[in-house]
Structure 1
């Protein structure tokens, strides 16, 4: 689910049956180089079961992302490419559990954006973009929302969070990993706030702007021990990467510690990503 005041540019967003998350932004790479990467194209774009095209102009199959998602057959078991032409799509998007094998492909950073601003208190209802289905890939899309304000006597910004990971036990294989990303926005935001005792989030090799709060991380609704959490960073840079005032339980990961999170094996990619199909 995506719903904060931060802008998140996604060049690669993967969800597998393990419910892990990985995002990668090809900083320094041309969009075409990424689109032609074997991970995305080696068997998926070469022969998709179907391609659906969405554009704000109305000249293609649909004008909204949600309408295109709704057109995917229930119980789908073959990869479908949903291509979003350049433009701003002002809507909330939900990909339900029974709409699997979707490759949502935008036209690149700054060209294709999904935008919404919902002030409801319930995070599940206010999220701009929700994926409940297994086997999902997104590429080349910016997700944007607006800063949240409370207006009793003056404008007071509410500190939001990029992630709220809910790993509940040590044997749970889930986690959020952000690699080569850029994080920036208006006001301040936490990299993550734990939703359960084993919450696991890693930001690696990413640019963190001053929008990242000095503390970096928060417990949110979980007030118990932080001993089993992993709220980690590795080789991040930018003004928001300064760890001087980070919360005591967050960690600067070593090369050995971060290594398992930087490979496709963390999301069991060789079992479900098209590039590895026989």
Structure 2
């Protein structure tokens, strides 16, 4: 049956063998329509994942495996409500996948791998042109804290290495190294990211808009946790994390960030920072004196009890309005307009 599914998907994508069926037809592909920003109405095919067997596949990975390599047309993998205990990977040679759940609190993908960050993520996204919507990825090795006695280890909920990828109403739950925003241009909108230590890390060139950044560092008291661990190798590297119109909430305390590399860049813009943010705001880590001037940690227009900058690290950057405008504009990650041509247009949502 699995071979038959692969063959059918291949025909749909490469020979225009349309099969316009409803979700009620359990073993057929469903045709849907989308309109990109200004683009003509276009069809994409939908593969249904349902644990009960009333879909094309019962696991997410089986559906992804069925998509032909070097796919050049959008295809949706719709994952029905439920908890999927599996490790999911979209390999580099499978672009243009729209991974859609039934809701951030309804479709959960759970795995408990840990320690080896290159391989332990619950969700690994290596391909370009990926859209993920309305689901949550959880690394359960340490999360939730109340449910286990495991030593706190690096345990990723997601690792994102592809370019031109977008996430809408997606949850990322873990404790340490929750989201490895490793490299590429990424957009996160209305997402929830939870953790305690370096839980948003990497070299990505990313905007986080209207996201909830949830600190769960109470167990570390009196030591604070760390929200970001950004990683730029040099001043010309385009990477950097921009938090725009976000909410930083939670329990315990945390620094806004510490550097993973000596040219780390993070901006919190027009965001609400609660009292979970420590007064110093940022930690220089191992990058003392000689490299502190290269760190680009900044805040602009933030509010809330944790936004008082009077006690901030003296080396926090004061960005010009032009630089803030450049980093908070969508052109920072999307000069050529790739987002409006994706399967789900987040810019209008």
Could you say which TM-score interval applies, normalised by the shorter chain?
A: 0.5 to 0.7
> In structure 2, do the counterparts of structure 1 residues 244 and 173 end up closer, same or farther at CA, with 3 Å as the change threshold?
same
CA–CA distance in 1 between the matches of 2:52 and 2:308?
A: 44
- Show the counterpart of 1:244: 310
> In structure 2, do the counterparts of structure 1 residues 107 and 260 end up closer, same or farther at CA, with 3 Å as the change threshold?
farther
Query: Is residue 142 of structure 1 aligned with residue 171 of structure 2?
Result: yes
> In structure 2, do the counterparts of structure 1 residues 53 and 174 end up closer, same or farther at CA, with 3 Å as the change threshold?
farther
Judge conservation of contact 1:94–1:131 (CA < 8 Å) in 2.
no
Deviation at 1:256, TM superposition (A): 2.8
1:119-172 CA-partner distances (Å, limit 9, x unpaired): 63x5554211111222322111122224669xxxxx645644333222111221
CA–CA distance in 2 between the matches of 1:45 and 1:193?
A: 45
- Show the counterpart of 2:96: 101
> In structure 2, do the counterparts of structure 1 residues 99 and 254 end up closer, same or farther at CA, with 3 Å as the change threshold?
same
Deviation at 1:233, TM superposition (A): 1.7
Query: Is residue 266 of structure 1 aligned with residue 332 of structure 2?
Result: yes
- Mapping for residues 3-22 of structure 1, pairs under 5 Å: none
CA–CA distance in 1 between the matches of 2:64 and 2:341?
A: 23
Deviation at 1:259, TM superposition (A): 0.3
- Show the counterpart of 1:164: 229
Judge conservation of contact 1:206–1:235 (CA < 8 Å) in 2.
yes
TM-score, structure 2 as length reference: 0.54
1:84-127 CA-partner distances (Å, limit 9, x unpaired): 4455556655444333333344455555555666663x555421
Max Rg structure: 2
- RMSD (Å) for aligned C-alpha atoms: 3.8
> SS at 1:261's partner residue?
helix
- Indicate the structure whose relative CO is greater, using CA pairs within 8 Å and at least 6 residues apart: 1
Deviation at 1:228, TM superposition (A): 2.0
CA–CA distance in 1 between the matches of 2:89 and 2:287?
A: 26
Deviation at 1:258, TM superposition (A): 0.9
1:47-85 CA-partner distances (Å, limit 9, x unpaired): 364334445665444555555544444333333334444
Judge conservation of contact 1:200–1:230 (CA < 8 Å) in 2.
yes
Deviation at 1:213, TM superposition (A): 3.0
Judge conservation of contact 2:220–2:252 (CA < 8 Å) in 1.
no
> SS at 2:310's partner residue?
coil
More strand as a share of residues: 2
> In structure 2, do the counterparts of structure 1 residues 220 and 106 end up closer, same or farther at CA, with 3 Å as the change threshold?
farther
- Mapping for residues 191-230 of structure 1, pairs under 5 Å: 191-220=256-285, 222-223=287-288, 224-230=290-296
> In structure 2, do the counterparts of structure 1 residues 43 and 243 end up closer, same or farther at CA, with 3 Å as the change threshold?
same
> In structure 2, do the counterparts of structure 1 residues 272 and 257 end up closer, same or farther at CA, with 3 Å as the change threshold?
same
CA–CA distance in 1 between the matches of 2:85 and 2:316?
A: 35
Judge conservation of contact 1:100–1:134 (CA < 8 Å) in 2.
no
TM-score, structure 1 as length reference: 0.65
Judge conservation of contact 2:156–2:174 (CA < 8 Å) in 1.
no
Gaps of 5+ in 2: 1-33, 121-154, 176-194, 198-218, 344-349
> In structure 2, do the counterparts of structure 1 residues 106 and 242 end up closer, same or farther at CA, with 3 Å as the change threshold?
farther
1:202-245 CA-partner distances (Å, limit 9, x unpaired): 22222223333333223345445121221122222233323233
